[in-house]
Chains A and B, each alone.
Chain A
Amino acid sequence: MELKRVWSAVAWTWMTVVQVGTAEAQIDYRNLDDDRPTLMEDAYPVERYAFEFLTPWRFSRDRSGGTTHAFVPELAYGLFPNAHLGLKLPIAGTSTASGREWGISGLRLFALYNFNTEGRFLPALSLRSDVVFPVGSLAGDGTRVSVKGIATRSWGGTRLHLNGAYTFGKDRSLGAAEAANKWWYGGAVDQTLYRRSLLLIGEVYALRALSTEPVQVNASVGVRVQLTPYLVFDAGVARRLRKSAGPDFELTAGFSRAFAIPGFMPTGRSR
């Protein structure tokens, strides 16, 4: 796909959201989304009736010197109480011998259900499932289904998140970005600076992309900051901890914006 067409699609997505997004909204900088900016996410879904639109960019360089740019627009919606649905359409640009090849790297649909808020004894627990379809020139082969368990526990301004995911089915080639890895698990700690509306995050995780590939152990740090009542900026950096596998480094940055559409809201009694 030509670069021009890719960026046209990005621009169209932005325009669409801007049009429906005239109803300003708020995003909580503490709502830790997957990959924003770290791999781990917290156990809480998008608020009911809220849309959340994310526009992240990621750059990664692997051990061989190959690089990938990924722009992963994402839209999530709080369709049910304590649950959200969403989709991602990653657009990737990978370095090749002849230059850089751009294309869509699969279509991902996902749903997250939160069982409980954190209580005196139990952490907040959620279950998430992703389905990745082979859409686009840089997508992987076949449709893949993943399940993820998420737990969040807090101690004042500090929270611990544990995530673990597994993808069913046989190994198939993976997409250039937002790939459905065979399995991964890890833990993240974040710290809230409430007067600055700022969240600092650090994580370590183990990941196996395919059954035949070595296990990566990577670490990331990141920050999320509330810019306006409805806009959050995030940024992060990741690095492999093992020499044998994982990215040399990854950089990411993005914006998240929440909004709602009046026509989708319950109206109550009329007067």
Chain B
Amino acid sequence: MRNLALLLCLAIGAPNLLQAQDRRGEQFYYPGSFNWTFLKLYPEAARLFNAFDYGHAVLYERLLTKPPAEREEALEKEYRFLTTDLLIRPPKFAVAEEVIEPTYAKLAWQAKQMFDWAHLLHRQIYDIYSVERLDSAAKYALIEKVTDYYLTRKDIAFTDVPKSMALMDDQYFSQVFRKRHEKFNGLIWSYHWLQVGLYEPLILGKTVTERKAGLKATLARFWSMLEDAPSRFPKVMPMTATIAPTFSAQHPRAAVIFDNLHMMHDIISDVLASDTIPKGRKRAVIYEQLAGFRDGTRDVMSMDEWKNMGEMMGGIGAMGGPATGLLTPAAASTGAGGEMKGMDHAAMGHGTAAKDSAAPKPMPPGMTHPMAPGDSAPMKPMPEASGTHPSERMAPMMELHQRMMADSVIRTRLQADTAMQRLMHEAMSMPNVMAKPTKPATTPTSKPAKPPAKKKPPAKPMPPMPGMKHP
């Protein structure tokens, strides 16, 4: 009996003793046969996300545990491992992040939990889009359902109200990480670019073949970002409404959640990297920020502001470029009256995706941004180069370039963006580039990437272009 009494006392007293501790709080994802379809059909993309999880986890662990003087070296080592090994041969299943970030997970379990919960939503939406037997309306309803389910966990769900970008950029610790560790930060932003960008080919592809081709092209763009790092990485945080305009128009709640998630990723990097926050305060600061990101009533912006944010931040070019769109062959159409068919204005930074979706612009044949389920229109798969002579494809390209350069805003932006200048230079030098996806630096099945320092010389001398300075 004495033993029993002792155990009872322990059982009753333990919750109080442990009140200050984090609770595990794990919850199963919304069930359904759609789960894991993305992994089954598109393993080359799904497995990449497992490597991304490692990248996030190891970043936080190194920032937390390494003294400032050793961080750059430690992150460089992890960067090499990621880009030459893990991303090339990503794990089949999710990485146990507690293994990679043991110190961080013990410090800020709630942050890990919030990220896991949001990543689960990410994954389930890929799964839903990958299911062939569901029509657009069913997919729409299911995505809203899993988003509802996500939001039932008020204690760990990011709000579906857009949070102010000032939280990421204008706090006393803001931007420390990205300024000190530009390359690793660029890698993280390229992850975020792909995580939202992959929705587009899955939505816009009309058939399995088109979806696979589109997804392959988007992946190729991701791989091309790893070349000559950090020059091709996004220069600002990729916004979902800009990179995935179709998805954002269909599911603005989920898109907002993902932007809040990605902002929080950056905030935590800054908190961990910041010297102004003592180690003993980091948990408290992170938890304050997390609480803010669960609260949809303060430090928020309107949906219109959120939709326009991509443009205000520098446009899609600064965010790593479009996930799809530009790969549609420009040579296919030069419209009457000078309207360029095959051109996504949002994708070029002329207007935000949200503006496009609010006031739809003429879209090229076979490429629309559906506003509602069922509107899903065909997207031309990124075809291989046709039999057209390269010079014929080059002509509209040149015309496109000249029209763009006539715009002083574009001209100024291009001059300020060396990566875009180089891309334009390469595009002008290689006629086939508009008809084929950019060749990746390495593909998941290829051998490990070469050291990133190697640069390709321009293929050909480039004719002088109005308004463009060539470095």
Chain A positions within 8 Å of B, measured between CB atoms, are 22-26, 28, 30, 44-45, 47-50, 78, 81-82, 114-120, 122, 124-125, 127, 147, 154-157, 166, 168, 192, 194-197, 226, 228-230, 258-262, 265-271
Number of residue pairs A-B, CB distance < 8 angstroms: 133
- Given the known interface contacts A116-B18, A265-B149, A266-B149, the answer about A24 and B28 at a Cβ–Cβ threshold of 8 Å is no
A38 → B minimal CB distance (Å): 18
Q: How long is the Cα–Cα vector from A24 to B27 in the complex, in angstroms?
A: 15
Closest 3 CB pairs of A and B: A23-B31, A268-B148, A116-B21
Chain A residues with Cβ under 8 A from B35's Cβ? Answer: 23-26, 229
Flag if A48 contacts B91 (CB, 8 Å): no
Flag if B148 contacts A124 (CB, 8 Å): no
Partner among A226, A269, A270 whose Cβ is within 8 Å of the Cβ of B93: A226
Partner among A22, A192, A271 whose Cβ is within 8 Å of the Cβ of B96: A192
Chain A residues with Cβ under 8 A from B31's Cβ? Answer: 23-25, 259-262, 265
Q: Is B107 an interface residue (CB 8 A)?
A: yes
Flag if B149 contacts A115 (CB, 8 Å): no
Q: Is B406 an interface residue (CB 8 A)?
A: no
Flag if A125 contacts B18 (CB, 8 Å): yes
With A117-B25, A154-B102 given, name 6 new contacts (CB 8 A).
Answer: A23-B33, A82-B23, A117-B109, A124-B24, A127-B10, A127-B14
Chain B residues with Cβ under 8 A from A125's Cβ? Answer: 14, 18
Can you name 19 A-B pairs with beta carbons within 8 Å? A26-B29, A26-B36, A48-B26, A48-B27, A49-B28, A115-B18, A115-B21, A116-B23, A117-B25, A119-B22, A119-B109, A127-B10, A154-B102, A155-B102, A157-B99, A166-B3, A192-B96, A196-B91, A267-B145
Flag if B148 contacts A115 (CB, 8 Å): no
Q: How long is the Cα–Cα vector from A147 to B8 in the complex, in angstroms?
A: 10
Flag if A268 contacts B152 (CB, 8 Å): yes
Question: What 1/0 flags go to B1-37 for Cβ under 8 Å of A?
Answer: 0011001001100110010011111111111110110
Residue of B nearest to A157 (CB): B99
Partner among A23, A44, A81 whose Cβ is within 8 Å of the Cβ of B32: A23
Residue of B nearest to A28 (CB): B96
Chain B residues with Cβ under 8 A from A147's Cβ? Answer: 7
Q: Is B98 an interface residue (CB 8 A)?
A: yes
Residue of B nearest to A261 (CB): B31
B150 → A minimal CB distance (Å): 8
A189 → B minimal CB distance (Å): 14
A150 → B minimal CB distance (Å): 12
